Structure 1
Amino acid sequence: MATLLLIDGHSQAYRAFFGLKTPLSTRQGEPTTAVYGFARKLISILKEYRPDYVAAAFDSGETWRHAEFQDYKATRDQMPDEMRVQMGRIEELLRAFNIPVITYPNFEADDILGTLARQAAAQGLDVLILTGDRDMFQLIDERIRILYTRGGPNPETVIVGLEEFRERYGLEPHQLVDVKALTGDSSDNIPGVPGIGEKTAIKLLSQYGDIDNLYAHIDEVSGPKTRQNLLEYREQVERNKRLVTIHTDLDLSFDLETCRLQDYDRQAVIELFNELEFRSLLRELPNLEETPQNGTNGQGQLALFTPETPAGEDVGPSPYLCVQDDQSLAQLLEALAQAGRLSFDVETTSTDAMQARLVGLGLAWAPGQAAYIPVGHQEGPQLAWEMVKERLEPYLGNGELPKIAHNGKYDLIVCRRHGLDVAGDIHDTMTMAWLLDPASRSLGLKNQAAHELGWQMTELSELIGSGRGRRRGSSGQELTMDQVPIHQAAAYCGADVDATIQIFDRLEPRLREAGMWSLYTEIELPLLPVLADMEMAGVLLDVEFLAQMSQDLSKRLAELEAELFQIVGHEFNLRSTQQLSQVLFEELGFPTKGLRRTSSGFISTAVGTLEQLALAEGLTDQQRRVLEIIFEHRQLEKLRSTYVDALPALVNPETGRVHTSFNQTGAVTGRMSSSNPNLQNIPIRTEIGREIRRAFIAPPGWLLLSADYSQVELRILAHITQEPALIEAFQADQDIHAATASRLFGVPIDQVTREQRGLAKTINFATIYGVSAFGLSSRTEMSPQQAQEFLDQYFATYPRVSQYIAETIEKANSQGYVETLLGRKRFFPELQNRRLPHNQRQAVERAAINAPIQGTAADIMKIAMIRLHRRLQEERYQARMLLQVHDELVLELPEAERKPVADLVREVMETAYPLSVPLKVDVEVGPDWYNLEPVA
């Protein structure tokens, strides 16, 4: 039977890097420790297990797990710089062995491996997964086994199959998910239920089978403390289960033959090893051509994955018009003259709209009627862009002619940067699909074409590769679209614009039927060019300030390390969790009782563990100081690496500014997100974090203006519920948290203590998110019983809030969705499942409670942005919007416009939507985003 070997790329790279005690480098100084260790392990595995096929998976950045749990993997150290520079060499090594490198956006390598393993096993292959992550054990079955590399000073790789797993755990592999849900996972910074370690979790699951049945029989669980903790942390357990469950249903397919090892480029491997000075490994290279190919279909190929047309293979002439001369251009213009609408799409050299070079432009005017205009390919006949631009301007520049695009903001920005302004409405099929299914993770054009039209379209990666699998041209540089043959690009782009216009025809009537056409045309549609303007404007960054801040942070980090080394008595790698664990628990004598150990056998040094340790009784002053140093060091290191050192690298070399990308479809609630940089996550809760905002500055003679909605969600809650007490407090412009505390504690508002106001603030905001007594107790020092009493008192004080919650839950269950004041819908189809576990139903219902409030806040912000953008243009102000973060807008304006623009911004934002209570906006101006002063 044929065998597929799947490699957990990052896991093996890390073990290779840290597995060699003596760092390696070439004579030219290139570090090679990780590459050498990876290569040695790869050769060893290939020779010992002789798989027929091999593929490797790598992480590609943050995923949905980070979005759901912001502390996910937060305690992991950044990849060392000396390792980071070796990752490209590891990819080069894999390519030489003809091993595909696979990534998948928004998911981890574990999910890729799980998906491919399940597909392969279903087709009759044996599967081996090489990893150092025990989470992968959940995939084990009759055909899938794990090649597990143990940690510790003497790592070894062992096979873990069904028999080994059952012997080790006494459970079935699928139950490992429930074990992890209860115990947490310190390596991923997932906290478990206090007092429940692996032994207790295994005992519980041996008795009850799974978590759902455990909670169904919670009264039978022995030990009152265990039972109480299980109840108190139930929501966390359910979240943990989602986080640790490996997805095995990703939309992945590739040609198995590309993984066949007998075709690997032996000469390329030899040349690479010579270059890296791995001469000792040359004699270890396996002769894979002798590998037996059992289990083939007779032609040496197994039908595991759907074969696709190989990149670069001649696929014949494009079915669409390819405009490469005056005659075909005239033919296109004749068709455009009769068009009632146009879909358009640009082909470029980059995903960064502010730096991409235009390669070609696709246009479609009717289903099946499309053309591609090459203007920037490296080879082949094509037309001059200046001439093309001039001839197309009467159509794309005609504001009366509707346009359609998919992710149209990108296309609009690229066109504008190249001198072609696309005027009028730009319908965006990605936004339309998102409105109809805001929870969808399949909004890409190819997925939409498959779903709506039944098309199986060519992926861009099939033309140029993607991520670590990016192909290279003859020069050795990564392949870009301008190197793709024109006829292939024409077929590819023509299909894109053809699909876009046909998808629009299917989505429009469904939006109308769903009652969201007005929401789309009045908010989402006009918002697109507003966001394009903001992205193109960018924001000025004080790079010198960040450089100085980086130096200051480095100095402080060095001081902390020196102080810690003095206490310990020797230097060590503070970023090594294993070395830190040894120092804390073996040398400094910290208590270990109740602390979790990692898979490598060391006591965890995750932030949750150290915070738990800080609460321990009997610590010496020296031990407490050690923990203070570690906490401060980690905070500063994360700020430096994530923001202070990263932001300058994002400055556009042409504009000298940072151009964040706003994602209009970024959240199920309707709120926007941003990336490169992600402004939503710039820390503001600590002073050192807020300092980063100093780097966002105005040009000389200009100012930044910040306009922030004050407690907008609570004001929306007051309006939706028509709760008289809330309305009265907002209309009187009272401190809403003090007003709530006054009512809850029965004291005059001017006598409310800071602690009372803090509790009132917690419950005010917690209510918006449908908090339970357990959830409220976890946010405060109250017990669950005290929290329930406090909630009861709150709802007695604000009975219409309680009524709103009950009615919203009923609507979500009966009709399957809830909606905002402006008709934005969030769907909850899972509530129609009568067998949905109680805890899952509660989590979904909490989301339903919040959706109308948070969604309405998003709608109001978008209305304000559209109106403010229009007013600034109509009244000929130089001021322009730059950023939108949560409930805040940031503008750039000349000093002379300070007062009139501040008044205009406040007027527009406060009148964006009529509520029963006034909308209030705090307006501040200053030279940078940190040093702001209120404008009366």
Structure 2
Amino acid sequence: MPVFYYGSGTAKERFQHFLDNPPEAIAVDVETISLKERMPIGFAIAFSPDEAFYFQVHPEAPRELELLKPLLFNPKVCKIAHNMLFDMGVLPMIPYLAGFDRNNIFDTNVAARLLGREETALPILANEVGMIITSAKDMLVGKKTMLDLDPMEVAEHCQMDAKATFALYLKYMPKILEQFGEYFRVEMNVIPILIDLSLRGLDIDQRARAELEAKLEDEVEFYRRQLEEYGIEKPGSAQQVGYMLGKRGNFLPMTRSKRQLSTDKSNLGFLDDPMAAAVLGWRTKSKLLSTYISPLKGEERFYTEYYLDTVVGRLNSRNRNIQNIPGPNKKTGDLGCRYIFLPDNGCFTTGDYAKEHMYILAQVSQDRDLLKVLYDPDPEKNDVHMLTARKMNISRTIAKIVNYAIPYGGTADTISENGKIRDKRLCQKLLDDWFRAYPGAADWIMNAQRVGVKEGWALPTLFGRRIHIPEEFTRWGALNTSRMNNKAVNYPILGSDGEIMKRAIILCQRRGLGPPVMATSVHDSLSFDGDVELPIDGLEHIPGYRIPFEVKKTITWE
């Protein structure tokens, strides 16, 4: 089999040595055709920062790979990777390697994030251990895929990545065990579940998809004709849209480059001009059509790739971000798009952490009024948005916008954008009134901002993690305390949110409800395939206090 050895010994003797004497840890790095075409072409196993083997598996994987089972299938051997979700997600695609052990793993990317590294790309972190490696992006300059490179160049790159990963493991592992022992184990335990969730997919109702596609095509054409009447021939051209809106007397700020008017959603949403509304309508419908609905034609299942946010560790998805697929809108009556996805076993059981961020803020701040209303057993009295509306003498709709802005470190600008309120002074007044309405929460927020800016670290999350807040500067070189204040508030809350969701996923897995029963996750919700009984009490008390987990059952995904 095509094997390349990088070390000071004899290849055959060293290979047999490691098979006969499995080490405590190995570092694995997999090379694929490209990030989009994830077909493995080879992988490296490093046994130290100075010794590695590279195994070429393209165009055909040799049967001799079964010899690696004492290493990859052994639960006593720790498997190290930098971005475990990627490497362990594609490694099973190599014949003879499916079913390798995933319980004893160490992700140096996650470790770097927990230890406060701002940049966690391997070529950057490798400098910490005195190693210089080239990124795949730099290697592919003028090339399309890794297959366009010399196989020896690919092998050299892969084994260096594996060695650097092993070196980072040796550096990070003692600190991780000391500072984040159990916390890190949770991070590692959720990774195999997310890989399985990514591979599970959702069944597509092609008839419903086709009908939705036709409906969206009609809507896109409607907006296109409307904009054509306004003199816009290319609604996708920001320059043309900005010029025509400006010509109609609308004020729009310039982009950062100062080359044209800014026509992003936040700016167009403020304009009382039907042209602006038509542009937003065209963008929304055409994006949904081209990115999600049309590409699914002929496909049996919808797939996305789940991953952990590199800063706060929340669950996200990419490569068809499932979080961008709208569900039903109760206010407008719009059905959204999720109904085209069907369960395999009759119905979906979906649980959602209702108002999770408000509960977290109430608990960490111990604000008396927030705790009282959120935990009032009378369903007619535990509406936190109505309480805010009464306290501030505003509508419940505006109160809800303000309430949800606060845990994200919201400012007057945030409230202005989300509430479509032009008067910034009014938005600032809403913010000030909220702080007066909930003094306990206000004290916690102000303290979080003081600590975050002063120390460069946010206050602890529910499970004790402090997230690094890097210094930021304005274009004039001044310290951007506004953005740092924002992160000082939302990092502990969003980080806590991610911690709860990861523990909820693990809890369900241990109760036999992991993938394929677990079907998908969006924001603070989990959906399961079939009429499933969930461990609601356990899910609601993960942080040590109760956060309601509301459950519903539907015949399509909502």
**Shorter-chain-normalised TM-score: which range?**
0.7 to 0.9
- 1:830 and 2:509 aligned: no
Is the Cα–Cα contact under 8 Å of residues 453 and 484 in structure 2 kept in the other structure? no
Match of 1:81 in 2: none
Q: Which residue identity is paired with 1:394?
A: P
Q: Which residue identity is paired with 2:500?
A: I
Is the Cα–Cα contact under 8 Å of residues 737 and 761 in structure 1 kept in the other structure? yes
Is the Cα–Cα contact under 8 Å of residues 409 and 490 in structure 2 kept in the other structure? yes
Q: Quote the offset at 1:782 in angstroms.
A: 8.3
Q: Which residue identity is paired with 2:55?
A: I
2:6 to 310, 319, 325: 319
1:914 to 517, 540, 544: 544
Q: Quote the offset at 1:802 in angstroms.
A: 1.7
- Relative distance call for 1:573 and 1:392 in structure 2 (3 A) is closer
Q: Which residue identity is paired with 1:494?
A: Q
Q: Which residue identity is paired with 2:114?
A: L
Other structure's SS at 2:518 match: strand
Match of 2:115 in 1: 436
- 1:771 and 2:406 aligned: no
Match of 1:337 in 2: 20
Other structure's SS at 1:827 match: coil
| Per-residue CA distance 1:3-53 (angstroms, 9 max, x = gap) | xxxxxxxxxxxxxxxxxxxxxxxxxxxxxxxxxxxxxxxxxxxxxxxxxxx
Q: Quote the offset at 1:759 in angstroms.
A: 2.9
- Relative distance call for 1:786 and 1:397 in structure 2 (3 A) is same
Q: Quote the offset at 1:526 in angstroms.
A: 0.9
- Relative distance call for 1:841 and 1:330 in structure 2 (3 A) is same
Q: Quote the offset at 1:720 in angstroms.
A: 0.6
Is the Cα–Cα contact under 8 Å of residues 112 and 172 in structure 2 kept in the other structure? yes
| In structure 1, C-alpha distance between the alignment counterparts of 2:424 and 2:260, rounded to whole Å | 34
| In structure 1, C-alpha distance between the alignment counterparts of 2:232 and 2:248, rounded to whole Å | 22
- Relative distance call for 1:774 and 1:635 in structure 2 (3 A) is closer
Question: Which of the two has higher C-alpha Rg?
Answer: 1
1:538 to 194, 198, 201: 201
- Relative distance call for 1:572 and 1:862 in structure 2 (3 A) is closer
| In structure 1, C-alpha distance between the alignment counterparts of 2:79 and 2:259, rounded to whole Å | 60
Q: Quote the offset at 1:531 in angstroms.
A: 1.0
- 1:480 and 2:147 aligned: yes
Q: Which residue identity is paired with 1:416?
A: P
Is the Cα–Cα contact under 8 Å of residues 704 and 926 in structure 1 kept in the other structure? yes
| In structure 2, C-alpha distance between the alignment counterparts of 1:367 and 1:346, rounded to whole Å | 17
Match of 1:735 in 2: 383
| In structure 2, C-alpha distance between the alignment counterparts of 1:462 and 1:571, rounded to whole Å | 39
- Relative distance call for 1:809 and 1:685 in structure 2 (3 A) is farther
Q: Which residue identity is paired with 2:406?
A: T
| Per-residue CA distance 1:429-483 (angstroms, 9 max, x = gap) | 111112223642xx2222221x2222222443566x25xx325xxxxxx5527x7
Is the Cα–Cα contact under 8 Å of residues 706 and 889 in structure 1 kept in the other structure? yes
| Per-residue CA distance 1:266-324 (angstroms, 9 max, x = gap) | xxxxxxxxxxxxxxxxxxxxxxxxxxxxxxxxxxxxxxxxxxxxxxxxxxx863499xx
Match of 2:44 in 1: 362
| In structure 1, C-alpha distance between the alignment counterparts of 2:541 and 2:294, rounded to whole Å | 40
- 1:447 and 2:130 aligned: no
| Per-residue CA distance 1:744-784 (angstroms, 9 max, x = gap) | 44xxxxxxxxx532232223222223334565456554855
Q: Which residue identity is paired with 1:639?
A: L
Is the Cα–Cα contact under 8 Å of residues 712 and 857 in structure 1 kept in the other structure? yes
Match of 1:474 in 2: none
| In structure 2, C-alpha distance between the alignment counterparts of 1:334 and 1:431, rounded to whole Å | 31
- 1:503 and 2:164 aligned: no
Q: Which residue identity is paired with 1:319?
A: Y
- Relative distance call for 1:831 and 1:527 in structure 2 (3 A) is same
Match of 1:460 in 2: 136
Match of 1:398 in 2: 74
Other structure's SS at 1:903 match: coil
| Per-residue CA distance 1:720-748 (angstroms, 9 max, x = gap) | 11122222222214112123334444xxx
1:638 to 270, 287, 291: 287
Q: Quote the offset at 1:848 in angstroms.
A: 0.1
- Relative distance call for 1:497 and 1:775 in structure 2 (3 A) is closer
Q: Quote the offset at 1:711 in angstroms.
A: 0.6
Q: Which residue identity is paired with 1:435?
A: L
| In structure 2, C-alpha distance between the alignment counterparts of 1:571 and 1:764, rounded to whole Å | 39
Q: Quote the offset at 1:920 in angstroms.
A: 0.7
Match of 2:506 in 1: 866
Match of 2:65 in 1: 388
Other structure's SS at 2:31 match: strand
- Relative distance call for 1:719 and 1:419 in structure 2 (3 A) is farther
| In structure 1, C-alpha distance between the alignment counterparts of 2:46 and 2:467, rounded to whole Å | 32
Is the Cα–Cα contact under 8 Å of residues 662 and 673 in structure 1 kept in the other structure? yes
- Relative distance call for 1:846 and 1:836 in structure 2 (3 A) is farther
| In structure 1, C-alpha distance between the alignment counterparts of 2:553 and 2:47, rounded to whole Å | 47
| In structure 1, C-alpha distance between the alignment counterparts of 2:537 and 2:311, rounded to whole Å | 29
Is the Cα–Cα contact under 8 Å of residues 830 and 836 in structure 1 kept in the other structure? no
- 1:849 and 2:479 aligned: no
Q: Which residue identity is paired with 1:376?
A: H
| In structure 2, C-alpha distance between the alignment counterparts of 1:572 and 1:832, rounded to whole Å | 40
| Per-residue CA distance 1:108-139 (angstroms, 9 max, x = gap) | xxxxxxxxxxxxxxxxxxxxxxxxxxxxxxxx
| In structure 1, C-alpha distance between the alignment counterparts of 2:364 and 2:208, rounded to whole Å | 45
- 1:346 and 2:30 aligned: yes
TM-score by length of 1: 0.52
- Relative distance call for 1:458 and 1:775 in structure 2 (3 A) is closer
Q: Which residue identity is paired with 2:524?
A: D
| Per-residue CA distance 1:636-665 (angstroms, 9 max, x = gap) | 22322232224459x5xxxx433311222x
Which sections of structure 1, spanning at least 5 residues, go unmatched?
1-316, 379-383, 472-477, 616-623, 746-754, 931-936
- Relative distance call for 1:563 and 1:328 in structure 2 (3 A) is closer
- Relative distance call for 1:824 and 1:336 in structure 2 (3 A) is farther
1:657 to 296, 301, 310: 301
- 1:798 and 2:455 aligned: no
Point out which structure has higher relative CO (alpha carbons under 8 A, 6+ apart): 2
| In structure 2, C-alpha distance between the alignment counterparts of 1:484 and 1:457, rounded to whole Å | 17
Q: Which residue identity is paired with 2:213?
A: S
Match of 1:673 in 2: 316
Other structure's SS at 2:133 match: coil
- Relative distance call for 1:506 and 1:690 in structure 2 (3 A) is farther
Which sections of structure 2, spanning at least 5 residues, go unmatched?
none
Q: Which residue identity is paired with 2:307?
A: N
- Relative distance call for 1:550 and 1:919 in structure 2 (3 A) is same
| Per-residue CA distance 1:205-256 (angstroms, 9 max, x = gap) | xxxxxxxxxxxxxxxxxxxxxxxxxxxxxxxxxxxxxxxxxxxxxxxxxxxx
Is the Cα–Cα contact under 8 Å of residues 342 and 403 in structure 1 kept in the other structure? yes
Q: Quote the offset at 1:365 in angstroms.
A: 2.3
Is the Cα–Cα contact under 8 Å of residues 453 and 481 in structure 2 kept in the other structure? no
Match of 2:365 in 1: 721
- Relative distance call for 1:576 and 1:813 in structure 2 (3 A) is closer
| In structure 1, C-alpha distance between the alignment counterparts of 2:111 and 2:370, rounded to whole Å | 36
Match of 1:550 in 2: 213
Q: Quote the offset at 1:369 in angstroms.
A: 2.4
Match of 1:177 in 2: none
Is the Cα–Cα contact under 8 Å of residues 539 and 659 in structure 1 kept in the other structure? yes
| In structure 1, C-alpha distance between the alignment counterparts of 2:262 and 2:547, rounded to whole Å | 48
Match of 1:903 in 2: 534
| In structure 2, C-alpha distance between the alignment counterparts of 1:506 and 1:860, rounded to whole Å | 29
| In structure 1, C-alpha distance between the alignment counterparts of 2:523 and 2:204, rounded to whole Å | 20
Q: Which residue identity is paired with 2:469?
A: F
Q: Quote the offset at 1:631 in angstroms.
A: 4.8
- Relative distance call for 1:320 and 1:608 in structure 2 (3 A) is same
Q: Which residue identity is paired with 1:759?
A: I
Match of 2:53 in 1: 371
Is the Cα–Cα contact under 8 Å of residues 320 and 494 in structure 1 kept in the other structure? no
| Per-residue CA distance 1:321-367 (angstroms, 9 max, x = gap) | 99xxxx95674132243212222222333435xx6434333222233
Is the Cα–Cα contact under 8 Å of residues 667 and 673 in structure 1 kept in the other structure? no
Q: Quote the offset at 1:613 in angstroms.
A: 5.7
Match of 1:27 in 2: none
